[in-house]
Amino acid sequence: MKCKTALLCLAALFCAAPLRAQEDLRKLYYDAAAQWMDGRPEDAAGALKYVVYRSSDMDLTAAALKDLAALLAEAGKNAEALAYLAKGEMMAPEDFLIHLEKGWNLLSLEKFQDARASFEKAATLTADQDLASQARLGQSLAEAELAGPAAAIDGLRSIYTRYPYLLSPTAELISYNLERIHKRPHAVNFIKEALTYDPRNIQAEIDLAQLYENSDFYVPAWQTYYTLSDMDPKEEFFSDKEQKLRKYVKGKIDNLLYWARMAWPEHKAPLPTDGSPRVKVGLYAGKDGTLSLIKSFNFIAASDFDLVDSRLGKVVAGKGGMQWTVSYDERNRIYEVRDSMGATAHTTNNSLRIVPKNAGGVILIKNPELPDAHGVNRGDKEISGELLALSRGTGFWLINETSLENMVAPVTAQLAGGSRLAEHLKAMAVTVRTRLTRLARMTTHESREYDLCDSSHCLPFAGLQAESAASAAAAKDTRGEVLLAAGSVLPQADLHKACGGVTQTGANDGARPLPRMTPFNFYAYTLKGPPDGLLCLAEDKTTASDVYWTLLLKPRWIESRLNRSFKVGYIRSIVPLAREPGGRIRSLRVEGSAGSATLQGAQDIADALGSGALRSNLFSIRPIFKGKYPDFFIVRGIGTGSGQGLCVLGAQGLAKTRGAKYKDILLHYFPLYKVGRAPGR
């Protein structure tokens, strides 16, 4: 009896050993996913290889194979990735994603016939429009190499006419292939379409500039290169082209660009000033919050005003409705004020202040000359209150001292993108007021001369003319209301245009559930389009580029940006490192022929890859090779901005589809805060 019991125990021990080993391999697999999230893709790949070779669990092995293939493809190791995908195909011959992955890796190895076959096979294995469109995209790229541009165009058109979430990249590729068969006018039309569907597609902007130039459309080419040099001012290619083509431009340059110009102030009566804190707003600021040096500007005051010299006091009394000019005279090194007749009204070396006789009076700033500014909105700007021209050596800064409340309606309208929904605009007005109030009480700029700036560094403020009747009503209905935390503390109150489904604080706007975070699961997640019922998705799916977006980025421009600060040479791979729990990239490594560079933080990554074209750092990136180096990178991204705070389009969806009131909207995005009155300073 004892012997029998011992044998049973021994048998149980031997049975338990494989189970424990298998459990250890599953733990190793989860550890590999954690290593990947922590920014150690090489360690993760090593652990996954061990799991693949040691595991007898088919599901575990299949998952590890896919993750390993994803990491290898991301690093540009396509032949090695294919070896693991071949094993995965033997285990699951009808798996769509395995065949899709095979196609992309074969395409990078320039095995175009095999790539086409893999994409064709993948397309037969799914009825999902998102996935089938991704397969047809790859098939068209292979077709371009096998049957030529015309065949590729046919395949791309089928995506272009049926699938809204790849409109911009397919239009871009159609344009490229039309250029190859010398149909430049058609190519121009399609590349313009690419920018219509995604205005931040920087590669399409570059292609358009070059197409215009090659077609001898010199003024549009100049305008486009000017836009590019404004987006990426350190790129010498853009600035050189802009200077070269400037000779074809007739008339005043600023009038041929996209800056808003106004004849007269829209607001004739003074704006209210009671019950709201006074703030100093720096005008014409760059994205870092630094004000641009202004050489001259015109202004029209809606009412009578005084011109005050900082040392001499009141020097001129001016009439409303007349256009005056303030400029810096470089020859005499003085500031000069001319009246509406062109006569010199005052000259000085001091700062000047334009003070409407009625508090809250409106001033229209016209035609500001900012010769050294880049990425700054140079449009005419309507303001209320006093305007200071602060002397700064060879020019001046413009600073508006105004009522904070008068900024709420125009900023709300500008951010809301044309929404007229009252509850949506009220929620935004409270958020905007909270953010402006908090920023005005902090030291957020290197200079102490102003509290707020008019760029995205604080909140974009195009001027009072940006407000709508609906945003003005929303600001009035919520006047003085802000978000408050415990102890009457003002929160940061961030806003972003589209969260893509889930904000950073966990507000769910109808997102598809995130999978377990592994390399392949996240990549597959970015292949899918947005789910039905997503709050931040408009009814017109052709406008979806703020929610789900795809860019085809040429390495040449990324190399140029990186080589200014690092020595990377020609790029071989771009590998995301650490990610946040929701998948947002925290750091990224670029491997090049001359060295590598590691980029930390969303801003550095966005500046390097797209010079502002990346909407968020929630994306996957894959190289597509031609020879030894990538021909382009496919970037598939979700959402806009940091994902923090209020989702502007999601809030609009809540108001429109669910009839949510503004306080309910605010509770959805800011569950820890309540609406109240701002405490005193």
pLDDT greater at residue 460 or residue 252: 460
Classified as helix, coil or strand, 481 is strand
Question: Could you tell me if 45 and 190 lie in one domain?
Answer: yes
* 20: confidence class by pLDDT, cuts 50, 70, 90: low
**Number of structural domains found in the chain:** 3
Q: Which of 464, 497, 516 is the last residue of a domain?
A: 464
Question: Can you tell me which residue has the tokens 């570059």?
Answer: 206
356 pLDDT above the threshold of 50 = yes
Q: Is residue 64, in this structure, part of any structural domain at all?
A: yes
pLDDT digits (tens, 9 = 90+) for 342-351: 999 999 999 9
Q: Is residue 250, in this structure, part of any structural domain at all?
A: no
* 21: confidence class by pLDDT, cuts 50, 70, 90: low
Question: Could you tell me if 140 and 218 lie in one domain?
Answer: yes
Mean pLDDT of the chain: 92
Question: Could you tell me if 459 and 576 lie in one domain?
Answer: no
Q: Is residue 504, in this structure, part of any structural domain at all?
A: no
Q: Which of 445, 464, 483 is the last residue of a domain?
A: 464
pLDDT digits (tens, 9 = 90+) for 500-551: 999 988 899 998 888 899 999 999 999 999 998 899 998 889 999 989 999 9
pLDDT greater at residue 3 or residue 267: 267
15 pLDDT above the threshold of 50 = no
Question: Could you tell me if 215 and 293 lie in one domain?
Answer: no
Q: Which residues contact 21 (CB under 8 A, 6 or more apart)?
A: 54
Question: Could you tell me if 187 and 301 lie in one domain?
Answer: no
Question: Could you tell me if 456 and 566 lie in one domain?
Answer: no
* Sign of the four-CA dihedral 33, 36, 37, 38: positive
Which 8-state DSSP code applies to residue 268?
-
Q: What is the pLDDT of residue 276?
A: 86
Q: What is the pLDDT of residue 247?
A: 92
Q: Is residue 235, in this structure, part of any structural domain at all?
A: no
pLDDT digits (tens, 9 = 90+) for 158-210: 999 999 999 999 999 999 999 999 999 999 999 999 999 999 999 999 999 99
Q: What is the pLDDT of residue 191?
A: 97
Question: Could you tell me if 182 and 287 lie in one domain?
Answer: no
Alpha carbon of residue 389 to chain centroid: 33
* 241: confidence class by pLDDT, cuts 50, 70, 90: very high
Q: Is residue 661, in this structure, part of any structural domain at all?
A: no
Helix ranges, 92-148 (H): 96-108, 112-123, 129-146
Range of the domain at 412: 278-464
Q: Around 68, how many Cα atoms within 13 Å sit in the side-chain half-sphere?
A: 26
Question: Could you tell me if 183 and 305 lie in one domain?
Answer: no
Q: Residue 177 maps to which CATH number?
A: 1.25.40.10
Q: Is residue 630, in this structure, part of any structural domain at all?
A: yes
Q: Is residue 175, in this structure, part of any structural domain at all?
A: yes
CA–CA distance, 242 with 240 (Å, rounded to integer): 5
CA–CA distance, 30 with 520 (Å, rounded to integer): 13
Question: Could you tell me if 216 and 317 lie in one domain?
Answer: no
322 pLDDT above the threshold of 90 = yes
Q: What is the pLDDT of residue 35?
A: 97
- In order of 306, 337, 382, 398, 460, the CA distances from 209 in angstroms are 47, 40, 33, 33, 27
* 482: confidence class by pLDDT, cuts 50, 70, 90: very high
Question: Could you tell me if 284 and 428 lie in one domain?
Answer: yes
Classified as helix, coil or strand, 136 is helix
How large is the average pLDDT for residues 306-334? 94
Q: What is the pLDDT of residue 1?
A: 47
pLDDT digits (tens, 9 = 90+) for 279-290: 999 999 998 999
Q: Is residue 470, in this structure, part of any structural domain at all?
A: no
Question: Could you tell me if 15 and 103 lie in one domain?
Answer: yes
Share of the chain above pLDDT 90, in %: 82
pLDDT digits (tens, 9 = 90+) for 593-607: 999 999 999 889 999
Tell me the two tokens of residue 544.
């979806």
Tell me the two tokens of residue 614.
């990346």
Question: Can you tell me which residue has the tokens 């940091």?
Answer: 642
Q: Which of 464, 492, 517 is the last residue of a domain?
A: 464
Question: Could you tell me if 440 and 302 lie in one domain?
Answer: yes
11 pLDDT above the threshold of 80 = no
Closest among 580, 550, 547 to 647, alpha carbons compared? 547
Q: What is the pLDDT of residue 429?
A: 98
Q: What is the pLDDT of residue 679?
A: 74
* 18: confidence class by pLDDT, cuts 50, 70, 90: low
Q: What is the pLDDT of residue 126?
A: 94
Helix ranges, 358-404 (H): none
